[in-house]
Amino acid sequence: MNLQQLKRGFVRFRRWVRRTPPFSPLSEEEHRCQCCGHSYRGNFCPRCSQKAELGRITWRSVLIGVMDVWGLGTRSMTLSVWQLLYRPGYFIGDYISGKRKLSFPPVKMLFIIALIYANIYFWFFPEVLKLPLEEQGVVGYKLWIREHYSWAMLIMSALAIIPTWVIFRRSPRNTRHTIPEGFFIQVFFQTLTIVLSILTIPLDFTQSIITTVAYDLLIMTYYFVGYKQLFGYGIWGTLWRQALVSVCVVVFFMLLIWLFFPTMIDTVMEALDIVGYYTEYIL
């Protein structure tokens, strides 16, 4: 394989990553809605949004109904997770630009993925998660993270909203995104982080510094790719902005601890201990 073939392959890959998944073609057949009686052409009723070819309730309907509870039916959560893995920035950009039906509801997806991750650890691999709780000054906070994992991830997302909004505000792509849009951007990124944590659970059994570094590099690479695809900066422009956002998050987190947990913090070292614990446990 020569250089030209590699370039053509890379161009085809970039086109594939940028492409939004196609929708099903519209039906030209005349339908009469079984719910509201409206006559129309297409796949869904424009008045009540019921599907055209609904049919009778079958065992497949039962299966889809059960799967919908976990986001695995209509607007599949698995499809949203897959797009986060292979086109994170473009997928997030599609959502904030108005293509909402392409994604499973982001906040709901974050809570479901966090619940799956927490249950995998706490029920199936309790020996992997060995967290020291001897320090009296931070024990309450650590226990709170254990018991409220989804909320902890949401708080972590919130801390990155303002830094991302300020630092990436004049980006070539998705210019001047709003703070509410920034909220959903960070929700998607935290969901991606948990998904990668689930996929790399086997690395926890090695207890090796090499696997730890490899995992950290994987997370940083995904964040870099996501920010680059989402905002359109070059390599160096994305790197220093991503690093600055991370520094701001750590600073905001320490301020949050000092403001809301003053009785828990006796020394600067305990504050740093909580930051280190949060970073290791959550990410």
The pLDDT value given to residue 52 = 76
The reply to whether 23 falls in a domain is no
State which of 5-19, 66-80, 177-191 shows the largest mean pLDDT.
177-191
- Determine the Cα–Cα distance for residues 147 and 165; give it in Å rounded to an integer: 30
Say which range, 11-20, 120-129, 229-238, 268-277, has the weakest mean pLDDT.
268-277
The reply to whether 205 falls in a domain is yes
The pLDDT tens digits for 91-117 are 999 999 888 888 888 988 888 888 888
- Determine the Cα–Cα distance for residues 264 and 139; give it in Å rounded to an integer: 9
| Residue bearing tokens 């070292």 | 269
| Residue bearing tokens 């479901």 | 112
The reply to whether 273 falls in a domain is yes
pLDDT band at 241 (very low <50, low <70, confident <90, very high): very high
The reply to whether 65 falls in a domain is no
Q: What is the mean pLDDT of residues 189-201?
A: 87
User: Is pLDDT above 90 for 61?
Assistant: no
- Domain of residue 267, residue span: 71-282
| Number of domains the chain is built from | 1
| CA separation, residue 78 to residues 61, 63, 187, 210, 219 (Å) | 18, 16, 16, 30, 20
The reply to whether 40 falls in a domain is no
- Determine the Cα–Cα distance for residues 238 and 228; give it in Å rounded to an integer: 6
The reply to whether 2 falls in a domain is no
Percent of the chain with pLDDT over 90: 22
The reply to whether 93 falls in a domain is yes
Mean pLDDT of the chain: 76
The reply to whether 277 falls in a domain is yes
| CA separation, residue 42 to residues 47, 49, 71, 270 (Å) | 12, 11, 25, 61
